[in-house]
Amino acid sequence: MATHAEGEHFAGSNKLFIWVWIWLLVLTGVEVFLGYVHLDIRLMLTILIGLSVIKAALIVAYFMHLRFERLSLVLTLVPMLVVCICLLLVFFPDSFRNRTQRYTFESDKPMVTTTDEEEEE
Amino acid sequence: MSTEAASADRITATEWSGGALPYRVGHRKLGMWLFIVSDALTFSALLVGYSYVRASSEQWPTPFPFYPSIVFSSVMTLCLLSSSLTMVMGVSASARRDYGAVRKWIGLTILFGAAFIVLHLIEWKHLIDDGLRPFSLPAEWVERWPQGSPLFGASFFAITGLHMFHVFTGLIYLAVVAARVRKMKHEDVEISGLYWHFVDLVWMFVFPMIYLLSVDFTPPVH
């Protein structure tokens, strides 16, 4: 987008913000459409996370104005956050391992919300 | 803070030359940014926790039909996205010192945010009436997903609940800003905008991960 106007005081024109909003709506529309068609859940997850990261980047860059801040601020905030989130992913191998080793309930049935009448039986 | 000219000199200094504002933002704005980073980690941890539980469960209920559930939550998303646009309009009005316009735009933002909360509470009420609880599933769901993890409710209520709490505190924050806008510096209005956009940003991850990955495609039990 070449429509942005960079100023010292408060950069970004209203036109630019409306364009960002429209892009956010379009990307959300694509996500909802993916919910309508039936995709494999892994493919779906990958696409959804990818689109959400793009949307988050648009919000942070334009609405939260980070694109117009000094690079030092961006470098202080963003890489640290990305590294910490990536570190959280270390749990996932364990979650797949868990599937075979997990504790099984005696009844092997999940807990069900019971209504009052059923409890009396 | 000293006079404008003196502060301009200090601003231009780099961080290594002892610049008073190495990031060229005030301490409050930097504080809000640091809060946002830590809060982003809280939500990432919750979403990773939800993904962990879902991946390690034998079966996960996917109870949201496209209509009405997904359409309903898409409208909620639209509310939040639009509230972000009106907020950014309010902040640029504040840069022009047009206080009437600031109040109008922030008022609209509050309206969209309140609409989001009302819609969300209606949805919660439906799910609770169906019998969804933090640690148990409705009987009808168990019929359809016999191995379904009872932690569905816990992850759903914890993540959307914490997000709703953020929206709620954001509404109070914005109401205070709108009321006191004449006494506030422009940067303080901008800081409230940062918080509001962050709440919107979190929903951009909650919506696909909680709702769009739980669309109901399983055929009903006969």
d(C-alpha B186, C-alpha B199), whole Å: 21
**A80-89, B53-62, B175-184: which has the minimum mean pLDDT?**
B53-62
Q: What is the pLDDT of residue A8?
A: 39
Interface of A with B in 61-100 (CB under 8 A): 62-65, 69-70, 72-73, 76-77, 80-81, 84-85, 88-89, 91-92, 94-96, 98-99
Q: Which domains does chain B possess?
A: 26-214 (1.20.120.80)
CA nearest A82 in B: which residue? B41
What average pLDDT does this structure show over A94-101? Answer: 71
- pLDDT tens digits, B115-136: 999 999 999 999 999 999 999 9
Which chain A positions have a beta carbon within 8 Å of B217's beta carbon? Answer: 38
Average pLDDT, integer, range B149-176: 96
Report the alpha-carbon distance of residue B150 to residue A86 in Å, rounded.
28
Among B17-21, B37-41, B90-94, B142-146, the range scoring the smallest mean pLDDT is B17-21
Residue A4's pLDDT band, with cuts at 50, 70 and 90, is very low
Domain boundaries, chain A: 10-68, 71-102
Would the CB atoms of A113 and B211 count as touching at under 8 Å? no
Residue B208 and residue A31: Cβ atoms within 8 Å?
Answer: yes
pLDDT tens-digit readout, B46-102: 999 999 999 888 889 999 998 889 999 999 999 999 999 999 999 999 999 999 999
Residue A95 in this model has a pLDDT that exceeds 50:
yes
Q: A-chain residues within 8 Å CB-CB of B128?
A: none
Task: Find the residue in A nearest to B138 (Cα).
Answer: A113
Question: Which pLDDT does position B207 carry in this prediction?
Answer: 96
pLDDT for A18 = 95
pLDDT band at residue B32 under the 50/70/90 scheme? very high
Q: What is the mean pLDDT of residues B11-18?
A: 64
Taking the Cβ of residue A37 and every Cβ of chain B, the question of whether any pair is shorter than 8 Å is answered with no
Cα A17 to Cα A12: distance, rounded to the nearest angstrom: 7
pTM comes to 0.86
A16-58, pLDDT tens digit by residue?
A: 999 999 999 999 999 999 988 888 889 999 999 999 999 999 9
Which residues of chain A lie closer than 8 angstroms to B186, CB-CB?
10
Structure confidence at residue B170 (pLDDT): 97
Which chain B positions have a beta carbon within 8 Å of A91's beta carbon?
48, 52
- Name the percent of chain B lying above pLDDT 90: 77
Is a pLDDT exceeding 90 seen at residue B27? no
Residue of B nearest to A102 (CA): B56
The shortest C-alpha distance from A63 to chain B (Å) reads 6
Average pLDDT over residues B206-221: 85
Taking an 8 Å cut-off on Cβ atoms, the answer to whether A113 and B139 are in contact is yes
Q: What is the pLDDT of residue A10?
A: 63
SS3 sequence of chain B: CCCHHHHHHHHHCCHHHCCCCCCCCCHHHHHHHHHHHHHHHHHHHHHHHHHHHHHHCCECCCCECHHHHHHHHHHHHHHHHHHHHHHHHHHHHHHCCCHHHHHHHHHHHHHHHHHHHHHHHHHHHHHHHHCCECCEECHHHHHHCCCECCCHHHHHHHHHHHHHHHHHHHHHHHHHHHHCHHHCCHHHHHHHHHHHHHHHHHHHHHHHHHHHHHECCCCCCC
Q: Which of B53, B133, B186 sits opposite A113 (nearest CB)?
A: B133
- Quote ipTM for the complex: 0.89
Dist CA A40 CA A43 (whole Å): 5
